[in-house]
């Protein structure tokens, strides 16, 4: 995941110790990586509602890591990081959830390609991996460039309207 909030960087840094401490002020407990979180705990850590997590699951953005015998969802700290990442993408890019799903799919593909790269010494295999990675990154780049272009056009429109209002004000 490309975007990292301060709390997610702290989570990553502490994974090597076997404990993941979330820097959210609401929580003083640390969560071991092996502990599965209830939906309410995951929602609290990610600063979202339980309904948001259920909706993300419904549309395929996340999956619970397991279910209890009673059917209750369970999540790992990595799942919480994924939820935080989705929220960061929404806030930073204003992309809709379908576009965010596309980004997450491309990021997952890139991560699998990294793993494949590490397991092969074949130049031909590595060329294929690099081509796939390049294609995936090109898709991400296009998605973001399109959004930036639309935002730039809207920003220009707002600036023109502001200039018109200021001109009218100066003429009064």
Same domain membership, residue 70 and residue 57: yes
Alpha helices in the chain (DSSP H): 6-14, 39-46, 50-58, 77-93, 97-118, 123-171
Same domain membership, residue 88 and residue 131: no
Say if residues 62 and 108 touch (Cβ distance below 8 Å).
Answer: no
Which of 56, 75, 93 represents a domain boundary (last residue)? 93
Which of 73, 93, 113 represents a domain boundary (last residue)? 93
Determine the Cα–Cα distance for residues 172 and 164; give it in Å rounded to an integer: 13
Structure-token pair, residue 101: 């799903």
What is the pLDDT at residue 92?
A: 85
Q: What pTM was computed for the model? A: 0.67
Say if residues 8 and 85 touch (Cβ distance below 8 Å).
Answer: yes
What is the pLDDT at residue 34?
A: 55
What is the pLDDT at residue 95?
A: 86
We report the CATH number of the domain holding residue 22 as: 1.10.1660.10
Same domain membership, residue 102 and residue 41: no
Structural domain span for residue 160 = 95-172
Same domain membership, residue 40 and residue 13: yes
Which of 29, 63, 93 represents a domain boundary (last residue)? 93
What is the pLDDT at residue 21?
A: 41
What digits encode the pLDDT tens for the residues 120-137?
999 999 999 999 999 999
Domains identified in the chain, total number: 2
Alpha helices in 2-96 (DSSP H): 6-14, 39-46, 50-58, 77-93
The residue ranges of the chain whose pLDDT is under 70 are: 1-34
Work out the angle between the directed axes of helices 50-58 and 77-93 (0-180°, nearest 10). 90
Residue 109 backbone dihedrals phi, psi, to 5 degrees: -60, -45
């Amino acid at each position: 995941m490309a975007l990292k909030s301060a709390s997610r960087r702290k989570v990553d840094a502490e994974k090597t110790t076997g404990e993941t401490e979330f820097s959210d002020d609401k929580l003083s407990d640390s969560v071991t990586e092996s502990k599965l979180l209830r939906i309410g705990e995951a929602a609290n850590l990610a600063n979202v509602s339980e309904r948001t997590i259920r909706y993300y699951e419904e549309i395929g953005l996340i999956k619970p890591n397991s279910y209890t015998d009673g059917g209750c969802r369970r999540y790992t700290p990595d799942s919480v990081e994924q939820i935080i990442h989705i929220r960061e993408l929404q806030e930073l890019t204003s992309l809709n959830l379908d576009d965010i799903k596309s980004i997450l799919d491309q990021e997952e593909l890139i991560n699998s390609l990294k793993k494949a790269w590490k397991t092969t010494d074949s130049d031909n295999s590595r060329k294929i991996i690099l081509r796939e990675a390049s294609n995936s990154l090109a898709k991400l780049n296009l998605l973001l460039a399109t959004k930036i272009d639309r935002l730039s056009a809207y920003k220009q429109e707002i600036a023109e309207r502001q200039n018109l209002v200021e001109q009218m004000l100066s003429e009064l």
